[in-house]
Structures are given as structure tokens and as C-alpha cells.
Structure 1
Amino acid sequence: MSSRALRRLKGEQRAQAALQELELSDEERMKSDAHKLKNNTSNIFELIGDADGCPSDEEIAERGREGAQLKKDYVKNEKSNKKKKKKKKASAENGKEVAAAGDDIDALLETLEKSKGLSHQNADSNVAEHRPLLYVEHRNLNPETELKRFFGARAVLGDQRVKQRQRQFHRCTWMTVPKDTWPRFSRPGISMSLVESKDGLQHFTFEHNRDYQQVQFKFFDAVESMDPNNIVVLLQLNPYHIDSLLQLSDVCHLQDDQETARDLIEKALYCFECAFHPVFSLTSGICRLDYRRPENRAFYLALFKHVMFLEKRGCPRTALEYCKLILSLDPDNDPLCMLLHFDFLCLRCREYTTFIRLNEEWEVHRNLSQLPNFAFSVALSHYHLSQQDDISPEESQQLRQKADVLLQNALIMFPGALMPLLDLCTVQPDAAVSSHAFFGPKSQIGQPPALSELVFLYVGRCHSLWKDAGLMLWLEENVEKVLKRVDTHDPYVEECQNKRKLRYQSAPRNIHRHVMMSEIKEATATLPLEVTTQPGMGFDPLPPLDSIVSYTRPERQNAGASNESTLSLFFRSLLPNFNMQGTEDGQEVARAGRELNQEVNRLMVAMRDMLANIQFREPQWEDNPDRDDEEWD
């Protein structure tokens, strides 16, 4: 029932109560008063009190006047109600005038609610302006909140309301909603402890008990076997082992089983949240987790994978909230480099002011303008703000002019991003643009490898945001202005060229880690060889070089392998069942030979494919003594 219907019901109840009081005649009132007086004279001393408390003639006359006035009001209300019934088919203006007398209470309540609503909106806007930049709201961590906003609760929940009575008891959590199909949760051996409280910040860490460490060692054995079935068996015995959930989620993702992959990540997050310290808070913004500890990395990776699934599910607002959560756990180091993803999520969910505020507050100490995604996305945010209808023409013009300047500066600083962006947007550039030396192929070949990695990451992720006719016209106008500035030898063009030569010599490790986990093929193709040739696992991609290890895996003794030659070890890497000493069974020898030939043939095919697709890289940039050592990540 709506609030207006409730107010009408209350008004009718009040009118009925007044009607019942008016229907009592004066005689009935006098009889009732006499009856009460008769019943109350059981004590003789009560008559003395009644005599003292008897109303005077003036009070009786006043009550009579009040009763007469109440009768008149009732008659007026009754007449107005009759008029409303008779004139339902009349004009709307007459109907409003007649209903005004009967809806005074509703109108008063509506005006009060409107005034309160406006005050609440103003208060919320003021509070939002003074909130911390990485403030996280609990209600925005649930993707159903965003889905209900678009499709309604009935379409999102479906038959869940009917099954609520049969639902099992689960611990209430913020990040995930436990499912009845999940195994019963029992503490797997993960806990969280407070390391220290310093400078208003609380540093926490996850810890593994002895039993969980043994399960972790078994997990390492299962990973080395290169057989996902061993991980499945381990999960059957330990259904809430974090690294097994993450690794098996990657396997399901590669097999296009997105539903199972997402469910495994949600299980991991549920296990982590059940292990939270009582003081640990997702929304305070003062809790820190050190990524150098392996126990904490799994929480970062689970959150990152959850962001990717939320984005594919069509929940960019929820994904942005988790992005802020990851960034708040270590904003100084940003181990997963969430700043490279922050702009895309803000533009997807139209949080333009939030992104502009981040750029303005962090530009001083983080040099965000050196990142291509920030340079282009800030201009795009100002452009979208200028197109809104709730601003004045003067303000719209100012925002548009600022957006033009920002876009031109971004194109001058990162000219190698234009042609790949137009290519992914399936837009044929003008001949004057494609043939110009500033935006031509030379702009992509001449940029440092680290800059190419950032440019292709932005283009591969955000090209869908530019697929709009109005945006392409705006981009075309500013490209022409940039070419004019280049031809007229604008000093800013030469300044940006010098910055590109001095900076972007090598990308930090967290950027490589982000590119590997982003799965954007345009960006992963630009990773350096020292990164792609490193052995890495999905549960711990590119671990930090200064890791803080709390416990180590015991060494596995293998006496038989110590006497083997290099050739034997090579064949064993190709065929695990190969034995250099041979066997007495001739069939086993023949079978091993056939398998060896097959593995060698596969190796040769892989080598031919590698040689056919080999790409010559640009020579490494020489160390420049004038290099700008300023942090740019």
C-alpha cells in the first residue's frame, strides 16, 4: 500500500471518529453523565469533590458553542463529500476545488513530506561532498541492489521469496549472499589479526593455522600435477580452501563456465568475511592489508575477480564500490593498480563527479595525468557533464570548453592512442589525419614499450565508451585543432615529446600484474619478455619480490632424480612416465617410444608456430642520466 493510500485511510478513520462523536445527542450525553454520576456516588466524600469540580455555567455554555461549531464543520464536510460524489464527471478544476476542503490533511502531510525530502536531499548531497573519496557503502556491495533499480525486485528475486521459509540459516554478510546449495560452513583455519595501529590506520593480516597449512601444501602438489581433477578432489574434502577456489575458478572461466567460476569466487569472499577481525571494517577506509603477505593476496585477487564478474554481469556501480574497497586497502602502493580500472567503472555508471574529484585530489602526489586512461577519461567526464539538462547554458559552455582543452592535451601527450581507438570503434579516419606524421604509424612505433602497454590497455578496455556519433564528432573537431597546433609548432607539443622520451622507461610490477589479470589481448601482447617468461599461477600472479613469508613448504626429497642426466630430465619434462634405464617389458618400451615421438612432434609444431609468429621488439631504451625518477604509477 502506498503512503498516500495510508494517509487517506487515516483521514477516513479520523472523520468516522468525529462522526460518531457528533451523532450522540445532548440527551444521550446527559443520560450518560447522570449514569456516571450515579455510579460514582458509592463514596459519600466523592460528592464533595464533584461539587468542587462541577463545571460552571460559563463552561457549559462554552462547551455548547464548541459542539455547535463542530456540528457545522461536520455538515460542511458532509456537503463537500456529497459534492465530490456528484461532480466526479465534471471538470477537473471544479473537482480540485471541492476536494480541497476534504483533503486538507493529505495536502498538509504531502507538503511536510516534500519539505522533509528536500531537506534530506540537501543533507545527503552535503554529506556526500564531505565524505572520504574512497568511502564504501554496504548497500552498494550487493549487486541485487543495482539490478532491482533497473528490473524491479520481482524480476531479480523470482521464486526466492517463496523459498525463504525453507532457507537454511547462514551468517549475515555484506559482500556475498550465501546460497543453500553451498556446503555447510565450518571454520577452515583462516583468521585475521590486528598487526598494529599507527597514524590513525589499522593494519591487519590473515593467518593460517597448522591444519590449513597442511591443506595448502596439498594444494601446491595438486597444482604441480597440472591436473584440475586433483584440485576438485581437494575441494571436496576442504570446500572452503581459498586458493583452490581461485584456481578452479580460472579453470571454469577458461572453459566458458562463467556461472560456476563466479560462484567459486563468491564462496571465497564469504569465507574471508567470516574470518574478519571484529574491528576490521569495509567502509571505514582506515583498514590496511599488506599485499606482500601471501595470506592477504588471495583476498585482493578474489575481490579483483569479483569486480570482473560484476562488470560482465552488468553491475558497474557495484563493481565501482568493490574497486574503491580494493584501493582503500592499500592506496599508497595500489598492488593491483586499480587506478587503471577506476575511470572505466566511473564512466560506465555515470559517476563523473567522483572521478573528477579523484583526479583533482590525487594529481598532486600521484601524477595521474601521466596515465593515458586518466588523461582521456577526465576530458570525457567533463564532456558528459556539459551535456546534462539540469545545468545552465553558461555552465554547459564552460564545461565544454574545458573538455576541449583536456582532450587536446591528452591527444598531444598520447598521440599513439588515436589510431588504435578509431580502429576498435570501426571508424575510418580522415586521410589528412592518418597520413600526418603526428598521428601516423610513427607515433606508435616511436613510443616506449611501457607507454604502449598503458595505451593499449586503455584502448582495449574503454573503446566501447567512444562508440557514439556525438562523441566521434567531438573527437574529430579536437583532432583538427591538435593538428593545427602541431603545424604551428606549439611549445606544448615539444614539451610532451620530451616527457615521453624521459618517462615510461619501464612499467612497475603492479601495472604488469594488472595487465595480466585484465585479460585484454591488446594489452597482454605488449608485456615484456621478462614478465611473460616467468612461471606464474592464477592464484598468485607476479608475486612481489619482497614478499613476507610466514611459513614455508617443506622440501620434497626425490633420490631417484639426482642421478639422472640432463637429457633424461628433458625427456621426463616431455613425458612424465619416461624412464631412461628402460624396462624389461618390450611392450612398455614400445609404448613409451611412441608417446615420446608424439610429444617430440608436438614440441616441434609448437616451435614452428612460435618461429612463424615471432615479432622483433624495439631495442631497449638507453639509460638517460636526465631521466625523471618521479613516480608515475
Structure 2
Amino acid sequence: MSSRQLRKLQQQRELEQAQAKLQASIEASDDSEEDSIAFQPPKAKPSLFASFAALDNGDDDEDSDAENRETEAQDNLSEPEPAQAAPAKKAKKSKKKKKAKKVKEPERNNDLEHEDGPDEIDAALAALKIQNQGGDHFESNVTSATNPQYEKICSLLGINTQHLKLGNEMRNLFGKGAAEGHDEAGAAAARGSRRRQRGPQQVDLETALKGHHAPGKGLPEVTIRRNIFIQGKEDWPRASTGGLTMAVVPNSAEAARRGNGVVEFRFMHDQNYQKVQQQFDFCVEMGEPKNLIGLLQRNPYHISCLIQVSKIAKDQSDHSLSADLLERALFTFARSSTSLFATKLKEGKAFLDFRRPENRELWLAGYQYIKVLILKGTYRTAFEWAKLLYSLDFTKDPYQMSLTLHSLALKANENQWLLDCADTLSKSPSASHTFPSYAYAAMQNKDPVKSRSLLEESMQTLPWLFVQLFREINLDAPSSIWGATPRTDAETLFTEIYVRQTKDLWNTPEATSLLMEIAHSINKVDVSNIPLTQNDAITLDVVRFVYLDNTPALMGMVPSALLHRSNNSDSDPLPPDTNIYSYESQRMHLEPRGAPGGPGGVQGDFFDPIAALARLIPGFGGPADAEGDEEERVQQDELRRQLEHAVAAEEEQEATRDPDQAPQEPRAGVSIARRLLDMFWGQGDQVADSDSLSDHTNTDSEEEMPGLEENN
């Protein structure tokens, strides 16, 4: 028994002793036996209840105990006062006794009500009742606004975080011993120590990037084990996320309550993270890998650095380190995420806006990690990661995961999932060429009727695809589909993507026999009756998929205008046309040089000289576009005329100056000024006032720079 409970029991005994003394004094003053019978000693139950209530409340404050003790004593001492004035007559005593009982019971109840606090309980119950009513109203709103078909899609896209971890699948495939090398933190350290022994003065990249701390002093065990994406490793550096956090987009949670339950999240960079991001962009522009590695050593959990150095390690054929850095990046994303994000991922209702550059890094790191998982043959984990990236924005699918989800589902033996998602994945024009995979899934599920039906429909819809597939698996195309070829570039591209992904799956005795059976059973397919897949189906998202796939044959099939963009980079492949910037350095990195509203500063002014001139000359509003204000264009023309006349006057002064007379102050060359004007407005678009100066200017330019023609 605790000391606090002992104090309460001691207080109770003191109260009982006081009540006994009070009762003895009353009996001594009462000579009548009936008066003693009429006396009802106060019961200690109310104060005892209050004592145990205080025990439950856990109040350890000595001052509170003293106040409670004084209050209880006063209450108990005040109860017997009505019984002290006992009447003398017997007839009246019995009546008053009954009245006293009737009066004392309500008083005891009042004491209990005062000590137990029914008012507070009633208030809490009333509040709960209000909340329950509000909760019922909330549930009714959600139910009324929920689309059953949408809920089905979300349930299919819900993520099982256990399948996101590679060690779990390795353990299922090869046993516990095979997963120990991946799960144990000392595995990477052992590899680094072996490499270090080869050359004492050379430190390999993996050793340089691991955590340099004593054993057991790395990341906390809870942080390592409870990550929803990746199980961490002890040899990773002990450091924070560096300023990467996650937040719910304002008004998103409220919209989720009133709508379908989808919540929009966003990753955020604090001031320190933004500074490191600017340093990263500068290192990328320099193109020196050592600078990036050094930056990663100082900031071991910076996402952009981890992804870029992972690519460097892959180019050096260090695939183990490349995968490790990608895992560290995904580990950092989950480490900075909220518990609500994990909950919504499991429900398939977590949304990230691809237009935010900081959000796009999760897609990039996840996609590169999927390629690592495919190389390892762990298709179940790769499928779960592909499903995660698809669920973050399955309406737009910015990484076109629908083009690879079908093949990963088949290789991971998730055939029923693929059949359930048939209506969702095959809606987009790009994914329409994945329809034959549903027939293969039905075949794997031992449903021959459905498999034949789906395969027959596929051959009649996509005959050119099966002609290409027959060619790849060394089969002769039957007459029903022979001669069918893609009619547009989009059909050619999507056919090539599908055949590359699934030709190994179809090249089995069971699958080939089914293909030949259906191809010989259908009539000749009339390609002219099949709707065209227009070339506009090759969107920027599809080109991004081809770019990341890095297959030269596929790259030659996409529009070069979309593939070769000025703001494309390995750290942010083919960003969308519309972006949501969180800070100015993101705009400077992504906006095209010299574009209206593009980046300013030194780099932007170099590619946009008129913007630089606008900063230097007060009142000059910058370039006016063809649809701009007419008055603004007139002002610019006037400014150009003034500059032309100033240059002409300077040229005349230089021409008439006595060669033997030195100038009073050094002046810049006139040809340089002329070239600046040409750079601002172009040589072919001079105003009428400056046409007469062209010959004279060209002569001076050739005289002042005689070596220009020789060098050219």
C-alpha cells in the first residue's frame, strides 16, 4: 500500500474517533433512553467515498489533502446538529424522528452530490452527447458523399507497410538466414572494412558515407524499427532529417471530413534545408561529383544529395551502395511523415501534389528503388512500392505507374488484385495496351473461360500488339492478325513498352498454346474499325516514364520537344509545366532562363539582358510582348532610340578626336556598346533613326578588334 493511501486511511480513522467522541457527549447529556434511540449517528460512508475518490484522482499534493481533510471534518461535524435539539415528549419524538429521517436523507445525498461532483459528470456526459451527435452527423456526411466505386479503388490501393520492406520478402523467399545480411546493421560495415584493408590510404565511397560512431550509438532503435517505409540500419549516420517535415495542406482535412476522406499532404523545407538545397543546385551546375559527396557527408539525410549520389554509385557499378542510399532517402521521408499519413496510406487516401518540387522527390526515390527491387527479383516488394506511387495521385499518375503495375502484379502473383483493378488501370489511353495482362491473370487463376474471353477481346482490339508479341517469342502470327501494324506513333510506343515488359511471361508452354488457340479461332481482324490511339496520348508523363526507363529504342519514339527540355535534370526529371513553389530558389532552378516571370538575379539577368536593363534604368518596365501595352512598347522604342543616338555621338567623337591627344578619362569601347545594343534588340530590328549608323559602326568594330576575323 502506498504512503498516500496510508495517509488517507489515517485521516479516516481520525474522523471516526471524532465522531465517537461526539456521540459520547450527546449520550451523556441525554437522560432519556428514547432520546438515545432517536439519535442516529452519522455514517462515515460519504467521507470514505470521498477518500477513495481522492485516491483514484491521484492527488499527491499535501495542501490538497489538508484542505480535503478540513472540508470533510466540517461536513461530518455539521450533520448531527439537527439531532441535538431532541423534543421532551414521546409523542412528538416519533414524528420528529420520521421527519428527521426524511430531512437527513436529502442532506446525505447533497453531500454525496457535492463530493462526487455529479454536476461535472453531467456536464461531461452532455458534452459527449453533443460530440456523439456531431460524430453521427460527420459519419452521415461521409457516407452520403462517398462513392462506392471510389471506395473500392481506395481499398485496392491501400498499402500494407509490411510489404514495403525488402527484408520481409527476402525472409519469405529464402528463409531467415538470407534476410540477416540485409537486416543486420553490421553487414555494410563489414563490406566497408574489407575494402579498406585493400589500401590503407584509400577510403571507398561506402565507408566515407556511413556513420562514424561507436557501436550502439547510432540511430535510436525505435526510429530504426518503426519506420513505415524502410527498416533502418545502425551504420547509418546519427543525425536528424535536416529540416524536412510533413504537414497537412490547409483545408484538406476539413474537405476530407466532408468528402471522400482523402487528405492532401506536403513535405516542407525549413530555412536550413533550403540553404542546403541551394548548395546542391550549385554543385549540380558545376558537375563535380566530389562536391556532391562532400555535401552529403555534411548533410547525411538530404534527399536530393542521396538520390544524386546514388546515381553516381550506380554509374560506378556499386549497386549495393546505390540501393543503400535510396533506402536512406525513403527512410528519411517516412521519418519526417506524420502518423496520419501512414493511416491514410493504408486506406489508399493519401494525396501528394506532384506540382510541388519537394513532393516529386518521393516519386523519384521510389521509382529508382523499384528498379533495384526488380533486379533483385523481389517483385512483391516492388509491386507494393509501385502501388504506393500510383495511389499518391492515381487520377493523373505522373510517373505512369499503370504502365508497369500490371507486369509487377503478374510477377508478384497478385492476379486477383489485377483483375479487380481492370476498370481503373485500363482507363487511360496509355494503359489501354496493357489489357492482355488481364487475360494472363485469369489464366494464372485457373479460370479458362474468362481467360479465353479476355484474350479474344484483346486480339480483336490490339492485333498489332500480338503480331509484335508473336515475333518476340518466335511464333508465326496466324492469318487472323497477320499484317496488322501500329497506325500511329502512340500505338507503336505503347506496343513496344508492353512487349518488352511481358514477353518473358507469355513465353511459356501454357501461355503460347493459349495464344495460338485463340488466334486461330477468331476471324480476320479489320484494323480500320478499331479506334485510333492519337499521338497526343504521348503526354509529358509518358515521356517522363520513357526517360526514366532509359531505353534508347523507346526514347527515339517520343517527341524530342518533350524529351529535351531546358529544365530537365536527373534530380528532377522532366518537371511539369505548372509548379507550386515554396521558396524562390526553386523557381530559379526550374523556370526557363529569360522566360516571363522567370528567375532574376545574376543567372537570370545573363539570359535575360532586358530584365537586367530594367533593373539598372529607373522607369524602364522591361520587355513588352506582342500582346502587351502599346504605350509600353512606345517607351521601349524611345529608349532604344536614345541609346542609339548616344552611341552614335560617342562614335563621332571618337572618329574626330585627334590621335595625338589623350582622352581626359578612359572610356569603354564603342563597339562594345554597339554589341550590347545588338544583344538587347538584335541587329536585324533597328529603328529607322539608326540605319545610317550601321556602316560606320561596323568599320569601327573591325578596326578596334582586328583579330576577330582571323580567329573566326
CA offset digits 1:177-198 (Å, max 9, x no partner): 2223221122311111111211
Task: Mark the CA change 1:523 to 1:414 in structure 2 (over 3 Å): closer, same or farther.
Answer: farther
Which residue of 443, 466, 477 corresponds with 2:485?
A: 443
Decide whether the 8 Å contact of 2:493 with 2:554 is kept in 1. Answer: yes
Counterpart in 2 of 1:379?
439
Structure 1 position 293, deviation (Å): 0.6
Counterpart of 2:520 in structure 1: which amino acid? E
Which residue of 472, 488, 492 corresponds with 1:452?
A: 492
Counterpart in 2 of 1:352?
415
Counterpart in 2 of 1:191?
245
Decide whether the 8 Å contact of 2:183 with 2:233 is kept in 1. Answer: no
Structure 1 position 328, deviation (Å): 1.8
Task: Mark the CA change 1:189 to 1:401 in structure 2 (over 3 Å): closer, same or farther.
Answer: same
- Any idea what SS the aligned residue of 1:132 has? helix
Give the Cα separation in 1 of the matches to 2:186 and 2:313.
Answer: 28
Give the Cα separation in 2 of the matches to 1:326 and 1:345.
Answer: 13
Task: Mark the CA change 1:382 to 1:214 in structure 2 (over 3 Å): closer, same or farther.
Answer: same
Counterpart of 1:485 in structure 2: which amino acid? K
- Any idea what SS the aligned residue of 1:443 has? coil
Counterpart of 1:377 in structure 2: which amino acid? S
Give the Cα separation in 1 of the matches to 2:339 and 2:161.
Answer: 16
- Any idea what SS the aligned residue of 1:557 has? helix
Counterpart in 1 of 2:469?
421
1:531 aligns with 2:594: no
Counterpart of 1:515 in structure 2: which amino acid? V
Decide whether the 8 Å contact of 1:356 with 1:378 is kept in 2. Answer: yes
Give the Cα separation in 2 of the matches to 1:162 and 1:418.
Answer: 48
Decide whether the 8 Å contact of 2:156 with 2:348 is kept in 1. Answer: no
Counterpart in 2 of 1:156?
179
Q: Which aligned pairs between 1:221-240 and structure 2 lie closer than 5 A?
A: 221-240=282-301
Give the Cα separation in 1 of the matches to 2:185 and 2:583.
Answer: 48
Which residue of 595, 602, 612 corresponds with 1:557?
A: 602
Give the Cα separation in 2 of the matches to 1:131 and 1:550.
Answer: 29
Counterpart in 2 of 1:630?
none
Q: Which aligned pairs between 1:446-595 and structure 2 lie closer than 5 A?
A: 447-482=487-522, 484-486=523-525, 494-496=528-530, 499-500=531-532, 503-535=534-566, 536-553=568-585, 555-557=600-602
Counterpart in 2 of 1:138?
161
Give the Cα separation in 2 of the matches to 1:160 and 1:238.
Answer: 24
* Higher Cα Rg, which structure: 2
Structure 1 position 376, deviation (Å): 0.8
Counterpart in 2 of 1:219?
280
Task: Mark the CA change 1:560 to 1:299 in structure 2 (over 3 Å): closer, same or farther.
Answer: closer
The runs of 5 or more residues in structure 2 that have no matched partner are 1-151, 188-213, 589-599, 610-671, 680-706
Task: Mark the CA change 1:522 to 1:439 in structure 2 (over 3 Å): closer, same or farther.
Answer: farther
Aligned residues with identical type, % of pairs: 26
Segment drifting more, 222-231 vs 152-161: 152-161
- Any idea what SS the aligned residue of 2:408 has? helix
Structure 1 position 201, deviation (Å): 1.8
Task: Mark the CA change 1:464 to 1:412 in structure 2 (over 3 Å): closer, same or farther.
Answer: same
TM-score (norm 2): 0.53
Structure 1 position 173, deviation (Å): 0.9
- Any idea what SS the aligned residue of 2:584 has? coil
Counterpart in 1 of 2:303?
242
Cα root mean square deviation, aligned: 3.3
Decide whether the 8 Å contact of 2:186 with 2:234 is kept in 1. Answer: no
Counterpart in 2 of 1:82?
none
Counterpart of 1:293 in structure 2: which amino acid? R
CA offset digits 1:448-484 (Å, max 9, x no partner): 11222211111112212112122112212222234x3
Give the Cα separation in 2 of the matches to 1:257 and 1:159.
Answer: 16
Task: Mark the CA change 1:418 to 1:161 in structure 2 (over 3 Å): closer, same or farther.
Answer: closer
Which residue of 400, 410, 423 corresponds with 2:458?
A: 410
Q: Which aligned pairs between 1:25-44 and structure 2 lie closer than 5 A?
A: none
Give the Cα separation in 2 of the matches to 1:417 and 1:304.
Answer: 26
Decide whether the 8 Å contact of 1:407 with 1:478 is kept in 2. Answer: yes
Structure 1 position 318, deviation (Å): 1.1
Q: Which aligned pairs between 1:58-457 and structure 2 lie closer than 5 A?
A: 132-158=155-181, 167=216, 168=218, 169-170=220-221, 171=223, 172-195=226-249, 196-197=252-253, 198=255, 199=259, 200-281=261-342, 282-360=345-423, 362=424, 367=427, 371-386=431-446, 399-425=447-473, 427-429=474-476, 433=479, 438-440=481-483, 443-444=485-486, 447-457=487-497
- Any idea what SS the aligned residue of 2:443 has? helix
Decide whether the 8 Å contact of 1:449 with 1:506 is kept in 2. Answer: no
Give the Cα separation in 2 of the matches to 1:214 and 1:131.
Answer: 38
- Any idea what SS the aligned residue of 2:235 has? coil
Give the Cα separation in 1 of the matches to 2:564 and 2:154.
Answer: 44
Give the Cα separation in 2 of the matches to 1:161 and 1:507.
Answer: 44
Counterpart in 2 of 1:52?
none
Counterpart of 1:375 in structure 2: which amino acid? F
Structure 1 position 524, deviation (Å): 2.6
Structure 1 position 159, deviation (Å): 9.7
Structure 1 position 520, deviation (Å): 3.8
Counterpart of 2:459 in structure 1: which amino acid? L
Decide whether the 8 Å contact of 1:323 with 1:342 is kept in 2. Answer: yes
Decide whether the 8 Å contact of 2:247 with 2:266 is kept in 1. Answer: yes
Task: Mark the CA change 1:411 to 1:524 in structure 2 (over 3 Å): closer, same or farther.
Answer: farther
Give the Cα separation in 2 of the matches to 1:262 and 1:162.
Answer: 15
CA offset digits 1:124-168 (Å, max 9, x no partner): xxxxx9991112112211111111112110232159679699544
- Any idea what SS the aligned residue of 1:173 has? coil
Segment drifting more, 216-225 vs 179-188: 179-188
CA offset digits 1:380-405 (Å, max 9, x no partner): 1111222xxxxxxxxxxxx3233223
- Any idea what SS the aligned residue of 1:191 has? strand
- Any idea what SS the aligned residue of 1:240 has? coil
Decide whether the 8 Å contact of 2:264 with 2:350 is kept in 1. Answer: yes
- Any idea what SS the aligned residue of 2:562 has? helix
Give the Cα separation in 1 of the matches to 2:349 and 2:448.
Answer: 37
Task: Mark the CA change 1:155 to 1:246 in structure 2 (over 3 Å): closer, same or farther.
Answer: closer
Greater RCO between the two (CA within 8 Å, min separation 6)? 1
Give the Cα separation in 2 of the matches to 1:249 and 1:529.
Answer: 27
Give the Cα separation in 2 of the matches to 1:519 and 1:410.
Answer: 28
Decide whether the 8 Å contact of 2:307 with 2:325 is kept in 1. Answer: yes
Task: Mark the CA change 1:131 to 1:450 in structure 2 (over 3 Å): closer, same or farther.
Answer: closer
Decide whether the 8 Å contact of 1:512 with 1:531 is kept in 2. Answer: yes
Structure 1 position 251, deviation (Å): 2.5
Structure 1 position 510, deviation (Å): 1.6
Give the Cα separation in 2 of the matches to 1:373 and 1:317.
Answer: 23
- Any idea what SS the aligned residue of 1:500 has? coil
Task: Mark the CA change 1:204 to 1:516 in structure 2 (over 3 Å): closer, same or farther.
Answer: same
Give the Cα separation in 2 of the matches to 1:295 and 1:162.
Answer: 29
- Any idea what SS the aligned residue of 2:470 has? helix
Structure 1 position 495, deviation (Å): 3.2
Segment drifting more, 187-196 vs 152-161: 152-161
Structure 1 position 368, deviation (Å): 5.4
